[in-house]
Each structure stands twice: as C-alpha cells, then as structure tokens.
Structure 1
Amino acid sequence: MKLAIVTAFPPSKVTLNEYGYHLAKHFAQNSEIEELILITDYTQEKKQIDFEAPNCKITVKDSWSFNSYKNIFSIYKSLKTSKPDAILFNLQFMKFGDKKIPAALGLFLPLIFRIKKIPTIVLLHNILETVDLGNAGFTENKILQKVFNTIGSILTRVILQADTVALTIGKYVEVVKQKYKAQNVIQIPHGSFETPPEPNFDLPAGSKKIMTFGKFGTYKKVEILIEAVEKLRKKTNQELEIVIAGTDSPNTPGYLDTVKQKYKRVKNLTFTGYVAEEDVPIIFGESAVVVFPYTSTTGSSGVLHQAGSYGKAVVMPNLGDLALLVEEEGYTGEFFIPGNVDSLANSLECIVEDEAYRKRIGATNYKAACSLPMEKITQMYLNEFKKIEGKKLGFKYANIG
C-alpha cells in the first residue's frame, strides 16, 4: 500500500507532531506499506526520520504552514501529485491554525478526497462536545462559547464526510453517533508510543524529580505544581526537584517566561524547553512521578500513555478524558482536586513517601501501556482501510452488474 499521512512532524512545534512521528515510524515498519508519504508542515530543520524502515520508501513533502490560508490548496496539490492508495489525517480542530478560517479550511480536505474516491480516514483527537471552552483557554464569554459550539458542530459534520472517523475514546464514539447519527465512526485507541522492556522501577540516586510534560498556559498551568511541591518540601524530608518539560501553548506565548520570573527564587526548579524525541526516554526515566496540572482536558492524553510506557507513577485530576482513560484502558494514579494546591500536595506525598506504592502504580501503568502498543494501533488503521476499499470495490461491481 502507498499510504499518505497528513500530519505535523518533528521538529515541528505544531500540536500532534509527536503522535505523527510515531504513527509514521510504525506504519513504515509494517510489511504492508510499500511507500509512506508524509504531508507535513514546513520546518527550517530537516524532518526527523531517524527510524529504520528497510522495506518502505519514505517521502516527505513539506506542504503547509500553521495559520496559512493556502493550506487547503497546497495539501491538495501534494496529495494529488503523490497518488496515494489511502490517506490518513492526524487531526484535531486547531491542527491547521488558531485563526478560524485557516483552521476550518483544512478540515474540508477529507471530504474532498473521499469525493475523489481515495480511501480516507480521519484520526480526530478531540471533540468539542467534551471540551470546557472556558477552562481550555478558548473563551470565557458564554455567547462566544455558543458560537464556537455551533461552528464546531458544523465542522464535525464536515469531518464526518470522510470514509471513516476514528476517535480514541469510546465515550467520544457514543457522543458523536448519538448527536450526529453517524455510522462511520469507530474507536481506535491512542496507543503507546514505545513499549520498552519492563523498566527498572528503582530511581536514580539523588533528588526525586517531579515532572510535568506538555504545552503549557491554557488549561495546563504549572503554578499549582510549583506551589504544591513547595508545600511538600516543608512537610517532608524528601529532596525534591521540579522539572517542567515542554513549551508554551501556541495560544499563550510567553507564559513559561512569566512563570520563570515569578518563581525565580524557588530552588531546584528546571525548565527544559522543547524536548527532542530522542531525549524523551531520558526525561521520563529519571522522573519519580509525572504530574498533570490540568483544569480541563481536550483529548486522549499522549503524556499518560508515555508515562505508562516508562512505568511511571502519575498524579492527575479525576476529570474528563483522563478519567475515561483510567476506566477504559487500565491506567491508575493518585488523583487531586483540579486547581487545589493542598490536594495536589497530598497526592504527591502519597507517592514520594511510599516507594512500594509508587512502584505498584508504575507497574500497573506499564501493563496498561503494553496492552496497546503502536504497532497494534497502526494495524487497526490498515484493517479499516481494507474494509473501506472492499466497500468501494463492492459498490463498483454492483454498479457493473
């Protein structure tokens, strides 16, 4: 099969670039894929193709830019000239921009290529029906929230014109089927990026690193983590280090610089900036616990799946998609009240003061991650493409008869 994937891709800073990397890696290593065409966003540095794919040709076509009004045309041109057998779109609603028109235009592409009879699947990482627009940083204005929801419903109907829409959480599938009466919606779980050999659950010597990972500033706020660890330092004899790994959300440029300035007197506080793919195992491996300082959620958590892959204990709010993943996929952790510093400090204390408990959580999360490796997920997409192709061929032969 000659498969095209429309996605952001490292070293891009656009959302879902890490997921695009791991999709590409595991598709390229699947014997059914003869050529993989990556329709990616423009980056100054070369794309990070650092994985083995001995039997698969990989073609990279830089074709779009965040917030460009031309994306729909440039992506269309790249796909048309590539002549793929099938197309997978790795999407969320703000994938092509945080301005309304560029963001919306890109979402029409799956419809266009379905009309052109090319099997098309959209992997949609979030649905607006489950997003708290205020907490997620979109808008606090109730009237604007209604406008966003109306636009989101229209765009969801557009996306549903693809052959298949894959959602990562079962609850999403229920909501979309019920609201839109859609029959082409399936669940394909997020999956775990890597499944290393069972980790050593012991920690490196020295301070215990409490780490958070992501793009911060909207519904991911690190102040609560810093203040919770400061409280914990006064309560325990533990030597604790705070590691904030990642960058600003595109919607809140300058956020982390403001936090650095505000907490410059806090000891053992590290801001790593962007974490390259090859450094991800190191930063997770050195961590005692991974924290999710969220006030809302907007999709299945890649960070939770990564934490599971490396056998890490986690502390998270019991809300939204994180709660659903715990229920559906078997992850576990300590839970805290969103936005409550004391609650987060207490949850962290339970883990950093009890080594056996920390290891049990890590082992449970590793087991959950192993149940859904990325090679299994990519095979699920290939099986769905075969079903789509079979339906198209059956329709064609029915017409001939």
Structure 2
Amino acid sequence: MKLAIVTAYPPSKVTLNEYAYHLVKSFRLKEKVTELILLTDVTSGEKDIQFEEDGCKITIKECWKFNSYSNTTKVLKAVNQTKPDAILFNLQFMKFGDKKVVAALGLMLPLLCKRKGIPTIVLLHNILEQVDLGSAGFTTNKLAQKVYNFIGTTLTKLILKSDLVAVTMEKYVTTLVDKYKVDNVKMIPHGTFEIPDSPTQELPEGPLKVMTFGKFGTYKKVESMIEAVEIVRKETGLDLEIVIAGTDNPNVPGYLANAKETYKHVPQLHFTGYVEEVEVEPLFTESAVVVFPYTSTTGSSGVLHQAGSYGRAVVMPNLGDLATLIVDEGYRGEFFEPESVESLANAIKAIVTNNDYRIELGEANYKAATAFPMERITDIYLEEFNKIIDKKK
C-alpha cells in the first residue's frame, strides 16, 4: 500500500506535527506499507525522517502553507502526482489556517479525495461540539460563537463525507452519531508515542522540577502554576524549579514573553521555548511532576499520554477530556479546581512532599500508556483502510 498522510510535520510549528512524526515512525515499519507519501506544509528546515530502524520508502511533498488560499489546489495536485492507494488526514479544525475561508477550503480535501475513488480516513483530534470557544481562544462574543458553531457544523458535515472519521474518544463518537445521524465514525485511541522499558522513578540531583508542556495563552495558562509553586515553596521549604516547556498558542503571540517579564523576579523559573523531538524524553524523565494548568480542554491530551509513557505523576483539572481519559484509559493524577491557585498549590504539594505517592501515580500512568502503543494504533488504521478497499471492490 502506498499510504499518503496529509499533515503538518516537523520542523513545522503547526499543530499536530509531533503526532504526525510518531504516526510516520510506526507506519514505516509495517509490512503492508510499501511507501509513505507525506503531503506536508512548507518549512524552511528539512523534514525530520531520520529514524534508527530501516523502514519503507518515504516521499515528501511540501504542498501547502498555513493560511494559504491555494492549499486545496496544491494538495490535490500532489495527490495526482503521487497516486496513493489510501490517504489519512491528520486534522483539527484550524489545521490549514486560522482564517475561516482557508480553514474551510482545507477541510474540503477529504471529500474531494474520496470522490477521486481514493480510500480516505480523517483522524479528527477535536470536535467543535466539545470545545469551549471562549476558553480555547476562538471568541468570547456570543454572536460570534453562534457563527463559529454554524460554520463548524457545516465543516463537520463535509468531513463526515469521507470513508471513515476516526476520533480519539468514545464520547466524540456518540456526539457525532447522535447529531449528524452517520455510521462512519469510529473511536481509535490517541495512542502513546514512546514507551520506554520500565522508566526509572529516580530523579536527578538538585531541585525538583515542576513542568508543564504545550502551546500556551488560551485555555493553557502558566500564571496559576507559577504562583502555585511559589506557595508550595513558602509552605514546605522545598527546592523547586519551574519549567515552562513549549511555545505560544498561534492565537496569542507574545504570551510567554509577557509571562517571562511579569515573573522575572521568581527564582528558578525556566522557559525552554520550542522543544525538539530529541529533547522530549529528558524533559519528562527529569521532572518530578507534570502540571496541566488548563481551564478547559479541546481533545485527547497528547501530553498526558507522553507523561504516562515516561511514568510521570501528573496534576490536572478534573474536567472535560482529561476527566474522560481517567475513566476510559486508566490514567491517574492529583486534581485541582481550574480557577483556584490555592487548589493547584495543594495538588502539587501532595506529590512533591510524598515520594511514594509520586511513584505510585507514575507507575499507574505508565501502565495506562502501555495499553495503547502507537504500533497498535497504526495497525488499526491499516485494518480500517483494508475494510474500505474491500468494500469498494
């Protein structure tokens, strides 16, 4: 099978590029896949396809740009040139741009590819019905939210015209089936990127690192975490380092720079900036606890799956999709009230002052992560493509 994947891809900074890297890393080792065709966004640096193990041929076609009105035409041209046997779209609603028309044109691609007779699966990481538009940084204006919801419903109908829509949570399946009366939606778990053998719970000497990882500024805010750690320092006397790993959300440029200036008086506060793939493992394994300073959620959390794969204890709000993952996949964490700095401080303190509890949480999360390795997830996608191919025959 010549499998095409339409996605952002490292060194891209467009959302879901990291997920695509791990999809490719797994797909390339499958016997059924003879060639991977990456239909990616244009980047200044070379695409990261250097893997330790040999795999199938990888062809890269840089054929779209974030917020470009010509994306649809250029991606279809690349499809015509490469002639894939099947196409997987790695999507969320603002994948191709944050301009409404650009986003809409890009999301028409699955339908257009299906009409060409190419088996088409869309991996949809979030659905608008489950997103708090205000907290997620789209808009707080009630009228604008109604417009977004109308547009979202229209685009979802387009996406559902593909052969199969894969979502990462069972509640997403229920929502889409109930609202749109379709039967081509399936839950395929997010999956875990890297699963080291029995990750160590030993921490490096020096301060305990309290880390958060992501794109910040909308529903992910660092202020509460910084202030919470300061409270824990005062109450316990512990030597704690605050690690803010990641970049601004595209909707809030300059957010982290402002936070860095605002809290420049806080000791042992470290902003890493963009985290390269090779830096991810030490970032997690050197951390005592991973914090999710979220006020809402917009999909299955890749960071929680990463924290689990490295056996880390986590602190998170008991809301939305994070709460669902606790129930569905068996992750564990110390919870806090989303709007309360004091509650967050108590949650962090519960872990950093109790080493046995930290280890217990980390081991439970590792067990949850090992249930859905990326190798298993990519097998499911190949099985679904084969079903589509057989049906078309």
Q: What range is the shorter-chain TM-score in?
A: over 0.9
Tell me what 2:234 maps to.
234
Name the count of aligned residue pairs: 393
Tell me what 1:304 maps to.
304
Q: CA deviation at 1:175?
A: 0.4
For residues 364 and 326 of structure 2, the distance between their equivalents in structure 1, rounded to whole angstroms, comes to 11
**Which string of whole-angstrom CA distances, capped at 9 and with x for unpartnered residues, describes residues 22-78 of structure 1?**
001100011111100001111100001121453410011111110000100111111
Tell me what 2:247 maps to.
247
Conservation of the 8 A alpha-carbon contact between 1:28 and 1:53: no
Q: CA deviation at 1:328?
A: 0.4
- What SS does structure 2 have at the residue aligned with 1:258? helix
In structure 1, give the amino acid aligned to 2:147.
V
For residues 77 and 23 of structure 1, the distance between their equivalents in structure 2, rounded to whole angstroms, comes to 23
Tell me what 1:84 maps to.
84
Tell me what 2:22 maps to.
22
Matches within 5 A, 1:159-178: 159-178=159-178
**Which string of whole-angstrom CA distances, capped at 9 and with x for unpartnered residues, describes residues 268-327 of structure 1?**
000000000011001011000000001111111000000000000000001111011111
In structure 2, give the amino acid aligned to 1:319.
L
Tell me what 2:363 maps to.
363
Tell me what 2:205 maps to.
205
Matches within 5 A, 1:204-283: 204-283=204-283
In structure 1, give the amino acid aligned to 2:273.
G
Matches within 5 A, 1:1-400: 1-52=1-52, 54-393=54-393
For residues 199 and 120 of structure 1, the distance between their equivalents in structure 2, rounded to whole angstroms, comes to 37
In structure 2, give the amino acid aligned to 1:259.
A
RMSD: 0.7
For residues 150 and 24 of structure 2, the distance between their equivalents in structure 1, rounded to whole angstroms, comes to 33
- What SS does structure 2 have at the residue aligned with 1:102? helix
**Which string of whole-angstrom CA distances, capped at 9 and with x for unpartnered residues, describes residues 92-119 of structure 1?**
0000011111111100000001111100
- What SS does structure 2 have at the residue aligned with 1:37? strand
For residues 52 and 224 of structure 1, the distance between their equivalents in structure 2, rounded to whole angstroms, comes to 40
- What SS does structure 2 have at the residue aligned with 1:201? coil
Q: CA deviation at 1:205?
A: 1.0
For residues 50 and 206 of structure 2, the distance between their equivalents in structure 1, rounded to whole angstroms, comes to 32
For residues 31 and 265 of structure 2, the distance between their equivalents in structure 1, rounded to whole angstroms, comes to 54
Conservation of the 8 A alpha-carbon contact between 1:89 and 1:123: yes
In structure 1, give the amino acid aligned to 2:175.
V
In structure 1, give the amino acid aligned to 2:332.
T
Runs (4+) of structure 1 exceeding 3 A deviation are none
For residues 115 and 95 of structure 1, the distance between their equivalents in structure 2, rounded to whole angstroms, comes to 21
For residues 149 and 172 of structure 2, the distance between their equivalents in structure 1, rounded to whole angstroms, comes to 16
For residues 284 and 351 of structure 2, the distance between their equivalents in structure 1, rounded to whole angstroms, comes to 16
In structure 2, give the amino acid aligned to 1:301.
S
5+ residue gaps, structure 1, are 394-401
Report the TM-score, using the length of structure 2 for normalisation. 0.99
Report the TM-score, using the length of structure 1 for normalisation. 0.97
5+ residue gaps, structure 2, are none
Tell me what 1:397 maps to.
none
